Structure 1
């Protein structure tokens, strides 16, 4: 093996990095556990505020090898919502509201008609909403220029009455897309300030949607209001310290009193615990807040300007906004400022508001944030609806970035009054109760055009312009999909995931040992290293581990056996030919490599398609599967090879079988091909039966595909689904009720009010469902999780699923054609895959409602279908590789194609069986222990492995035979015709 030292070094580096990131994950979880223990109350509950204060205190502090807790949480193997509870939400920025607002100056009723029509079409179309609107409006009013609808005084600089339809369309598109960008930034700020650890926020590419995941959330209604509310932009006057000096002195005295009480309490505790205590001077405090402020500018903070210690007075520091606090102390500060006694010390119209951005004090290495004192927040003299435009610009005198802002007539008048009353003072610009800027007013501003300057970076100026524009258009976000998972459900999912993972891994390790004897230990070593690398890579990417991800991880371990099996079976063949051990090992690795590469590339294609088109459960599975493909390849090729080279160097050999596996699958001579018509008929009968069932019974479509709300309810005792359905009907719901993971648990699905976007509707329906399940014939129940999928998402899911399957087939067909240079092989593989999909669809239709778990056709099912397509293709490609090898062998190439393919199938039968058994073992354990959430998904996979193995033996290869024989017949006929033509010409 060339460059053995370099490969050893590479393996050591990869392992070290993986272990490092796994230890980081362990440390982050350990700190969270410590926080929970520290916040435990006497009654055994966790004080969430105390827990958050504990974490805040360490957020910017080095906690592991110089790494802060904040950095640890950015690169750790986090738990998904299904493993710890929380809320998943997909938001859509409503483009019809934006177009409606832009066209508000038009009185043409056809505008509203076109908006309504475009909204209905948008549910089933992937076209831009503006294009749909323009098409519908032009159909209603072909001779009306768009400029007449959208040109107003506020956009005079960008549009005019002479603007072309194309220019107007582009302008409206820019406004709609810009509104989405602003909404994303606003939602991101809201989520960042929400105080949730490991919150995940991302744009869904190609759409105007935002996905938000909030682990540990236990108040879904608060989240709905937080995420779907329109942005609130306000211009407020700022209280300067000198204006409220008396209030600040009183507040400083109150803090000193708290310090004194705390010190007295601590002294008392010490006195009770020790016989004698030295006297302590408690008459002084750590500083005087009013003197700190004193109207001075504290823009540059020195070390002596920060109060040390853990006293109440030390929480507040003089700063630009009037006060500053350390971000780690923000929870304690909020609690103090909301005390009634503190509120009475300040004017009734004063509100404490944080700056949206914190900054680092380089002297003390602490993160600080300004705390402003503003007037009339909530009843501001000026709000965002008066902004007509805002853009990032440059100061003509200094060349520094600034922001230009234009207001409408009403805003211009109010702005003139506000600036006239505050010359020399500050006006704070607030969005969602956070200060984005607090510029000084230099003079009264007339005309409504203003320039906001400051020490802005280009990015900060652009952000402020976006904030100002956020108040220009009503662009509320609507929740079109959500899922709430209870903490108890997450705990049971963790148990199910851990049990299934360990049991699945153990089953595979034992099976490999039993089958391959000493060589099995080498394969198992590679599998364990593969698991460490897989988890380490996921942690380094900051990936989230979900229950489907665990399934993907365990399945990738099962499929990782395949590479080892391919290598081992080739080594065994070389040893059977009498070759020395060292030669057999090197030839085995060399001959197995094409099959390993081809089989993994076909699985990789499927994984990429799943990753691109999947969300939620499917995306978690795809992420793990993709990483697992690369780590398993690395381990099979390098780890196993290094161990074998070690044995070769020591002059030792390795056994590849036990007493009872030595003769297994050896010298088999099964006639797979000549009986192909029998199996064609068997497959045809199953497919026809499935088609009849689909035509009569249809499918149990999941919420992913039809839209609606789903609630999982758990009861104290066993409950009949009919009783729950009747109770739902009595409450006014038309619902589908199924047993879910046990006879004491049901899944309730309803489409009631699914089109209603009012966030309050969710709470009302939730309360009604809770009332129903609280008691069904005296059986007490509770809702443990819920989800909602709007019709737009459902339609998109259907199209994405169809596209995923189609693209997977096309890419695989192309890859196989490129590799094997024959349409016959591509045709055989694709027909076999179609066969597998049709069989699984038929079985799901036939047994839906019969088996004791959900067989809904949903996005998870599509993920399973795509995965089994990859598995089936993997199996088929291994056979095809052996066929190609025989066809390239001059001693075998002259044999009949039937014999060649039969020989190939028999020679790869041991690999097919061993890989299939290992994978089925894992899936069987996942099916039993993996939890109800993924049971239907795993069942489809389990069937898929059986059907995929069957089709690669009895469908794919025989079809290649038929295709090649037809091709040979055509070539023969063409040759005969050519001979006849030549003979005729000769005569």
Structure 2
């Protein structure tokens, strides 16, 4: 090897850089351990996890800027440490869908144009099954409406868009303008969210736009307060200031509303009494069809009377339908009308918004809007306000005038949020507060339709534009509110279409299992290499350790995120990286067997192995690249580590191992590249693989047909990634029987599944209940139903809050949750399909270019299809009785692509040797060349497969959440090894013979002709 000095210097410098990058992680780890010890000492109780968490955070904040080493503070180190993903650190990951529909309606000034609204409704329906962006489907639906013009004055040719859209523009001319405006709005939403998240307080947050679909990924490692995060990212921050009615101004309306509802109730009771009187006769003397008809008529009458707002189950027992729901009266002269229990709030508001009830409002109050006040902590009561609305439903003053907002404390020490307005806002605020002072009325501060406060004005008009929001805020709530107001409002609503929450306990367990599997796999490989190759194996082990250092150093330097599948990718890379050394050592052994000197054998061995190493790693790398481009979350983490591992493995195997071997042999020392036990293994092997190909074809056909039959009849166990739904990982104090739990869940959710996940006291619960609906209230409803359904199996005294957040002290409750909407599930399914198909096409083209014959490409791709079908078939045949999770999700697609890469790796090495044999043995027949090549690579094939299997089995045993993932890889490695010998090569051989393209090299056959 030339330029050894340069390689040595580069390797040393690169290693030092990696150690430097990883030092930040070490410094962070030591300080966090100190903080943990401090928190435990301060709050040693068993049920003090929350207190310890706060104490740990306070400790780290206090030392954040102190120097730890060489001018590096904890804050500096934390910013540059190796990032851990949600599955290792816990935290929250959401994908938000910015409503393009809301943006369009805003651009059209909430147009009432029938064509516009018809197109919106049609687009909403189309989007349920469409893979297109909302705007493209909207244009498509709008074009279907005869004579409809986007540039209509009633739609987009309005005052706000007058600089961009004019009346005589065609639809085709308007479309790019709207697309640009929508993109600007989504970019604005992204900026608003980024500003909010930057102030949230978690380290290493991740926020990014996902293509042009209006989706935004938000990932907050370490975040634990689920509701706080949801509120932060979905709040539109629509701040408005409204005049409000005094309580006595609305009393007359409330009495009238109650009387109307009472009259309807009385009518219902009379109808029911008539039904009962008419049916209390001897059943033997009456036609039952008449009774049924009478009951039907009564039911219809009742439904008519209770239209829109009334719940018949409540009406039956209420004397005063409206006032029976009231839990308290508002004060005289104050803005609070009444107080209502939270559980009755929806019913009460439905009564007030009923058209018949609203018709009772006096003419001067016809535009009144009813809104609830902010829910106080630990209170079950909500206050009701009546806002002085107007025809346009637009406030005199909105949040757009806010230039700054801060969380502060008032004179009595309560948390408040102060706001500063711009000049225009200050003038309007002075006008509003002056009017309120004169009329002794109040002004409501309304954020996202919730009244945060409704203060009166006691000192006259307020000038300067400074105002204050008061309420029963915690410091965190005050900070979040100020942060939201300062960042500004979202230009449209943001719905969570996919979310994942991982508890910190589960994250720590993932780290422990990952480290355990990593360590065991590494030890097994190190021992095997020494056992098989002796001192040369020890040199390969050193290179392997250097490779691991390089992988983690590069990950830290690139600020990549390490996930549990990422650790699996590293461990798998370790197993596969051994392949490069195995190829080199096997070639050196062959050269030594030919009688060459050690120096020449080493030189030729490295040179001859290089082609196979590059081909094998490039094909694997191509599948990893497709995963990186198409995948998200854990899959992207897996692909990142796989690609980095391939690059570092190539460098360490080709250059670092060579440095050690050359350094050892430069003084004439002998290096055997084997041990006494392995010296003659596979030396005189001469198997006629081609002769056995028909038997192999038959075996493969039987397995594939059995799998295909199972796929057709019982299918696969699709995860929520592909079908949508919610899934929860719930841990119990004692072992549970999943079938018993599932029955109780089905009774609650109609459709649900419960499976053992890891241990017998942990279940993975999946439901599609209300999968089409989004919003915090829906999530809360399902969590409540889950908590109620699981009561017989939960620890006594476990509160709802402990259950939903995963009690860290008791180690029970929801440890992980995930929600995937049906729309994004379709997108994930489509991306998975294209990723698999794309990898096959890319690899086919690479092999075609590399080997110059389509028969080689056909053999490789046929083997890949063979392997994928068998893995899918086995999953279909076994998922119902296997004791671990075998769902088909994004991680499984990563596994399939890895199987493709591994299978190709194996096949390409064999093909490379066949091509070499064609060149070396020009007098041999095609069959002899192919069999000879297969036998010569058998040692390498089995060696690599064995080391890779050792790695996978170690992960399978210790990394419980990855068992399904690892099982597919184990099957893939076994089948991939088999297919490279008995499927890929025979198909290549048979197609060459069938089309009469016998290899140019076999001169012997040409002479016979």
Aligned counterpart for 2:201 among listed residues 189, 195, 198: 195
Partner of 1:651: 668
Deviations 1:358-401 (A, max 9, x none): xxxxxxxxxxxxxxxx9999x9999999xxxxxxxxxxxxxxxx
Deviations 1:731-790 (A, max 9, x none): 244101112112222111101111112222112211221222232398996222111111
Contact 2:744/2:789 (<8 A) preserved: yes
Partner of 2:228: 222
Partner of 2:891: 860
Asked if 1:884 corresponds to 2:915, the answer is yes
Contact 1:598/1:877 (<8 A) preserved: yes
- Secondary structure in 2 aligned to 1:214? strand
Go from structure 1 to structure 2 and tell me whether the alpha carbon gap of 1:709 and 1:351 turns closer, same or farther (over 3 Å shift): closer
Q: CA deviation at 1:104?
A: 4.3
Deviations 1:682-741 (A, max 9, x none): 111111111110111011101110000001122222221111111112324410111211
Counting only pairs closer than 5 Å after superposition, residues 351-362 of structure 1 correspond to structure 2 as 351-352=417-418
Aligned counterpart for 2:849 among listed residues 818, 821, 826: 818
Go from structure 1 to structure 2 and tell me whether the alpha carbon gap of 1:692 and 1:782 turns closer, same or farther (over 3 Å shift): same
Question: What's the TM-score once normalised by structure 2's chain length?
Answer: 0.74
Q: CA deviation at 1:105?
A: 4.5
Q: CA deviation at 1:673?
A: 0.9
Go from structure 1 to structure 2 and tell me whether the alpha carbon gap of 1:435 and 1:495 turns closer, same or farther (over 3 Å shift): closer
Q: CA deviation at 1:197?
A: 1.9
Partner of 1:182: 188
Query: Hey, what's the Cα distance between the residues in 2 that align with 1:190 and 1:606?
Result: 37
Asked if 1:941 corresponds to 2:969, the answer is yes
Partner of 2:164: 158
Contact 1:774/1:782 (<8 A) preserved: no
Go from structure 1 to structure 2 and tell me whether the alpha carbon gap of 1:742 and 1:343 turns closer, same or farther (over 3 Å shift): closer
Query: Hey, what's the Cα distance between the residues in 2 that align with 1:739 and 1:39?
Result: 34
Aligned counterpart for 2:568 among listed residues 535, 546, 551: 551
Deviations 1:388-435 (A, max 9, x none): xxxxxxxxxxxxxxxxxxxxxxxxxxxxxxxx9858x88999998558
Go from structure 1 to structure 2 and tell me whether the alpha carbon gap of 1:732 and 1:145 turns closer, same or farther (over 3 Å shift): closer
Query: Hey, what's the Cα distance between the residues in 2 that align with 1:232 and 1:322?
Result: 15
Q: CA deviation at 1:837?
A: 0.6
Contact 2:730/2:763 (<8 A) preserved: yes
Asked if 1:8 corresponds to 2:8, the answer is yes
Question: What's the TM-score once normalised by structure 1's chain length?
Answer: 0.75
Go from structure 1 to structure 2 and tell me whether the alpha carbon gap of 1:772 and 1:670 turns closer, same or farther (over 3 Å shift): same
- Secondary structure in 2 aligned to 1:596? helix
Q: CA deviation at 1:477?
A: 0.8
Partner of 2:35: 35
Partner of 2:303: none
Query: Hey, what's the Cα distance between the residues in 2 that align with 1:879 and 1:11?
Result: 31
Moved more, 26-35 or 80-89: 26-35
Aligned counterpart for 1:962 among listed residues 990, 993, 996: 990
Counting only pairs closer than 5 Å after superposition, residues 518-533 of structure 1 correspond to structure 2 as 518-533=535-550
Q: CA deviation at 1:62?
A: 4.7
Asked if 1:698 corresponds to 2:715, the answer is yes
Q: CA deviation at 1:211?
A: 1.3
Q: CA deviation at 1:340?
A: 6.6
Q: CA deviation at 1:621?
A: 1.0
Q: CA deviation at 1:507?
A: 0.9
Contact 2:840/2:861 (<8 A) preserved: yes
- Residue ranges of structure 2 left out of the alignment (5+ in a row): 243-401, 423-428, 434-441, 449-460, 470-477, 799-811, 1001-1009
- Secondary structure in 1 aligned to 2:759? coil
Query: Hey, what's the Cα distance between the residues in 2 that align with 1:875 and 1:88?
Result: 37
Moved more, 562-571 or 789-798: 789-798
Query: Hey, what's the Cα distance between the residues in 1 that align with 2:836 and 2:888?
Result: 14
Partner of 2:412: 341
Query: Hey, what's the Cα distance between the residues in 1 that align with 2:199 and 2:484?
Result: 14
Go from structure 1 to structure 2 and tell me whether the alpha carbon gap of 1:183 and 1:189 turns closer, same or farther (over 3 Å shift): same
Deviations 1:135-183 (A, max 9, x none): 1122133444543422222222222222321232222212221121111
Contact 1:594/1:881 (<8 A) preserved: yes
Counting only pairs closer than 5 Å after superposition, residues 334-483 of structure 1 correspond to structure 2 as 337-338=408-409, 341-343=412-414, 351-352=417-418, 433-434=481-482, 470=489, 473=491, 475-483=492-500
Query: Hey, what's the Cα distance between the residues in 2 that align with 1:145 and 1:644?
Result: 73
Q: CA deviation at 1:94?
A: 1.2
Asked if 1:76 corresponds to 2:73, the answer is no
Partner of 1:453: none
Go from structure 1 to structure 2 and tell me whether the alpha carbon gap of 1:323 and 1:966 turns closer, same or farther (over 3 Å shift): closer
Asked if 1:843 corresponds to 2:874, the answer is yes
- Secondary structure in 1 aligned to 2:216? strand
Aligned counterpart for 1:912 among listed residues 916, 930, 941: 941
- Secondary structure in 1 aligned to 2:731? strand
Moved more, 46-55 or 765-774: 46-55
- Secondary structure in 1 aligned to 2:760? coil
Partner of 1:723: 740
Go from structure 1 to structure 2 and tell me whether the alpha carbon gap of 1:435 and 1:88 turns closer, same or farther (over 3 Å shift): closer
Partner of 2:248: none
Deviations 1:190-226 (A, max 9, x none): 1111111222222223432111122222221221111
Query: Hey, what's the Cα distance between the residues in 2 that align with 1:614 and 1:380?
Result: 50
Aligned counterpart for 1:899 among listed residues 925, 928, 945: 928
Partner of 2:904: 873
- Secondary structure in 1 aligned to 2:995? helix
Deviations 1:23-72 (A, max 9, x none): 11111222233334444433444444444344344545554433444442
Query: Hey, what's the Cα distance between the residues in 2 that align with 1:120 and 1:762?
Result: 23
Q: CA deviation at 1:792?
A: 1.4
